[in-house]
Structure 1
Amino acid sequence: MRIPMDSRILHDLSDHYDSFYLYDEKTILQRIQALREAFPEVEFLYSVKSNPHPEVLKTMLSHGFGTDAASLGEVLAASRCYEAIGDHEMPDRDRIFYSAPGKSRKDLLGAWQCAAIIADSPGEIRRIEEIAAEMDKKISIGVRINPAYTIGGTAGTGAPAKFGIDEEQFFSILESSGHPHLRINGIHVHLRSQMLNTALLINYHNYLFDMADRIEAAIGAPLDYINLGSGIGIPFTEQDREVDLSVLSGALKEHLRRRKENGKADTRIMIESGRYAPGKSGWYVTKVMDRKISRGKTFIVLNSTMNGFVRPSLVEMVRHLTDDPAPAAWEPFFTGLDTFQFLALRSGDEEVIPAGASEDGETVDLVGSLCTGVDVIASDIRMPHLEPGDLVIITNAGAYAAVMSPMQFASMEKPAQIFLAEDGTIRS
């Protein structure tokens, strides 16, 4: 395991911060390029909730990504970002897609001029219809659908879900005439995140395109857009393998070819991406504050663990709660037992040493400084000998990391979030 930057950068930053995230733009750009090369005919939407750091958001949107927004705040942040980078290529309503359950009237009124609103329930469709009637306007909306399909299952095996309108219920809505001020012009589906099985993704896409054909037959016109959702995961462990983008793209191209033959070439095909580009770009770095031995066990006390980067602590909690060697994922909080790798950078050293790779290693517990016994990120882990001032580095911290961590707990100082630009400059 290597880090993609000079270790002196970490030493320099640790002179100013006891804990910090470091996001590497080069890694983000490499991942963006991989998607672009594999799917030249597909539009990508960045899921802002995965990492809304302004520099990360700017990098994603300035390289052609649209926006998957999960709140009015994310809608407005994306709109401001497009304005700041001077991107006026298309209206925001054509590239910001607001999809979330439980939108308030305030949310809907605040977003409708600068985002495509994706209705999440029959009740929300009625509320949007009421707003459109008050304005005496015809409004185009998308709809999130909960398909009659499960990943790895078969058609007709859909599960209950808090997200979207059940597929069979949606067709009943299309048959009604209860929304004269609305035009349903797009669909959005998302069933699972962090998928590495290419065949499962292909089968999922196959079903969605078939469903889109049936919806288009019901409305009598091609959809303006089909959002296939996310699902393309990243490798967290050395055993994980990347999704085969070329194979997935090849299957997708067949659907695009068929749609073109059927006069549906103008439909925009979209894929959401949250962790794929920034996930591997992030590193969480926290300083050793103390070491102590209690009844034969060595504890390395770190500056900020559970409150700074909660997900490694959740892995430890799962280990204590089950003996299952492969417990089911609960995304995005829990991906697996070996989701994160730990490295050490000792004061004065240039070499970053992975856990288990040091000749002077010792078995320790890595714990945080919070006044709670659950503030543990690794138990009985083999680490190099560590002293106060040394650094512990955690991988895979670029997405669903800082944004999900309980940083207000105990009124501790929040970790800094640092952006290492492609040209080597440091931005906060």
Structure 2
Amino acid sequence: MWTDKEIEKVKSPNIVTPAYVYKLSFIDEQYKKLRTCLGNDIDIVYSVKANSNEKIIKRLNNFDVFFDCASIAEISLVLRSGIDSKKISFVGPAKTYQDMKYAVESGVGHIICESLLQVKVLSEVLNNLKKKQKILIRINPNSKETSGSLVMGGVPSQFGIDEDNLQEIFDFLEDSHLIELEGFHFFLKSQVFDHKELEEKLHRAHFDSKRLAEKFGLNIKRVNLGGGFAIGYYSGQDDSKIGKIDICKPYQQKHVNTVESGRFLVAPAGVFVTSVIDIKTSYGKQFVIVDGGLSCNAAVAGIGQIIKRNYKIKVVGKKELEETYTVAGPSCTPIDILAVDIQLPKLEVGDKIVFLNCGAYGASYSPVNFLHLKKPSEYIID
């Protein structure tokens, strides 16, 4: 991935910081890893929210990838990128009438319904447009997840429909001839490093879909099993152990399993680059002030973390670790801290500090209008 030789490329004066730099061939490598892991009998769905850069979307479209969109703006962006609308699924817990009307008129492949009201609103849209639409029902299963960085299934949640509430959904669908229920959608948690745990999670979703299909007498054609493939942002996190998963075989004719991935596909392809603006000592601690902080990269700043942990960092053109620094962003808030007490080479004003694994949940995840500081640029070096 980002070797010292690759890192040297961001030294170019054409790369103006703060910036995200993407190497698209690394996305190819991640896709091949995931395909090797899953085998050929499963569809891969890219979560556009991870990174909606148009060139990244176009690159992924070189492979047989589907696209999960969480807003009509994402749908529009993906369509502008030349993606077949049938490869798009529309997700999210807050879809309005206008949202679903746009999705239906755009010809998206599936709308993921997450409540009875969403199903009813979609039915109204279809009746008015006199069109049919395929859907998946997002399930919040009874089985409870207990680990992972983001748990979204088996607990009280705004996402999906509790198992105990499914009957009213299917009762309504019996009288709807324009909604075509194709299957289920699961997503229980993200950032699962243990290979066997991830395999067990996907199998559990598969088992739950089979159990529910049999319970309600449904002919299922598609099941999104979720995802959870992890990326090692911090020291001690190893994401290299992903191995071949014994993927679940379809249990009904024409049933397709899909797996969702965002950060695993694109995070390693991107780095966040900042320049040193100032260096100062305060009560015995060295602070480095850089030109890009939480407004450019909220994840690196630790927004949402309970305990602040340092991303993996490189300094362009320097290797030997000599000094201990706390790296701070440019905004006037004490939470704009990118790294705490980290060993780095001796720094000078103008040095470029590079944060690894920033190809996902970067600029689009960050409060880029905060203080109206300089917004990050994006560069492709392939």
Normalization by structure 1: what TM-score? 0.80
Whether contact under 8 Å (1:18, 1:415) holds in the other structure is: yes
Deviation string 1:65-87 (CA, Å, 9 cap, x unpaired) is 1001111111121122235xxxx
Query: Is 1:162 paired with 2:150?
Result: no
- Separation in 1, partners of 2:284, 2:366: 31
How far apart are residue 352 of structure 1 and its match? Answer: 4.1
Unmatched 5+ stretches in structure 2: 148-152
**Secondary structure, counterpart of 1:62 in structure 2:** coil
C-alpha distance in 2 between matches for 1:25 and 1:336:
32
Residues 342 and 393 in structure 1, CA contact (< 8 A), matched pair in contact too: yes
CA deviations on 1:345-370 (whole Å, 9 max, x unpaired) are: 2xxxxx342xxx42xx2222211222
Q: 1:335 to 1:281 in 2, by over 3 A?
A: farther
Q: Where does 1:365-376 land on structure 2 (aligned, <5 Å)?
A: 365-376=326-337
Q: 1:312 to 1:6 in 2, by over 3 A?
A: closer
Give, as a single letter, the amino acid of the residue that structure 1 aligns with 2:157. A
Q: Distance in 2 between matches of 1:7 and 1:196?
A: 26
Match of 1:135 in 2: 129
Corresponding position: 1:45 with 2:45: yes
Partner of 1:410: 371
The answer to whether structure 1 residue 344 and structure 2 residue 332 are counterparts is: no
Correspondence 1:213-228 to 2 at 5 A: 213-218=210-215, 220-228=217-225
Structure-2 change in CA distance of 1:212 and 1:243 (3 Å): farther
Native 8 Å contact 1:99 1:144 kept in 2: no
Corresponding residue for residue 424 of structure 1? none
- Measured in 2, the distance between the counterparts of 1:193 and 1:335 equals 16
1:3-58 CA-partner distances (Å, limit 9, x unpaired): 36444421114x55132111111211111111122321111111000011111111
Instruction: Kindly provide the amino acid, as one letter, of the partner of residue 199 in structure 2.
Output: I
- Aligned to 2:189, what secondary structure does the other structure show? coil
Other-structure match for 1:291: 279
Aligned to 2:268, what secondary structure does the other structure show? helix
Compare CA radii of gyration and give the structure with the larger one.
Answer: 1
Provide the identity percentage.
25
3-state SS of paired residue (1:280): helix
Alignment partner, residue 377 of structure 1: 338
Supply the distance in 2 between the matched residues of 1:335 and 1:58 (Cα, whole angstroms).
35
Q: How many residues align?
A: 373
Kept in 1: contact 2:54–2:78 (CA 8 A): no
Q: Matches of 1:222 and 1:342 in 2, distance apart?
A: 50
- The 5 Å alignment of 1:109-148 reads 109-113=101-105, 114-115=107-108, 116-148=110-142
**Superposition deviation, residue 412 in structure 1:** 1.3
Secondary structure of the 1:17 match is coil
SS in structure 2 at match of 1:78: helix
Q: SS of the counterpart of 1:398?
A: coil
For residue 100 of structure 2, what is the amino acid of its counterpart? L
Residues 379, 216 of structure 1: CA spacing in aligned structure 2 closer, same or farther, 3 A cutoff? closer
Alignment RMSD (CA, Å): 2.4
> Structure 2 matches for 1:245-256, cutoff 5 A?
245-248=242-245, 250=246, 252=247, 255-256=248-249
1:137 positional shift:
3.8
Using the size of structure 2 for normalisation, the TM-score is 0.90
Aligned to 1:363: 324
Deviates most, 198-207 or 110-119: 198-207
Shift of 1:117: 0.9
Query: Are the counterparts in 2 of residues 236 and 340 from structure 1 also a CA contact under 8 Å?
Result: yes
Q: Does 1:273 align with 2:234?
A: no
Deviation at 1:63, TM superposition (A): 1.6
Structure-1 residue corresponding to 2:150: none
CA contact (8 A) 1:282 1:398 kept: yes
The answer to whether the aligner puts 1:9 opposite 2:9 as a matched pair is yes
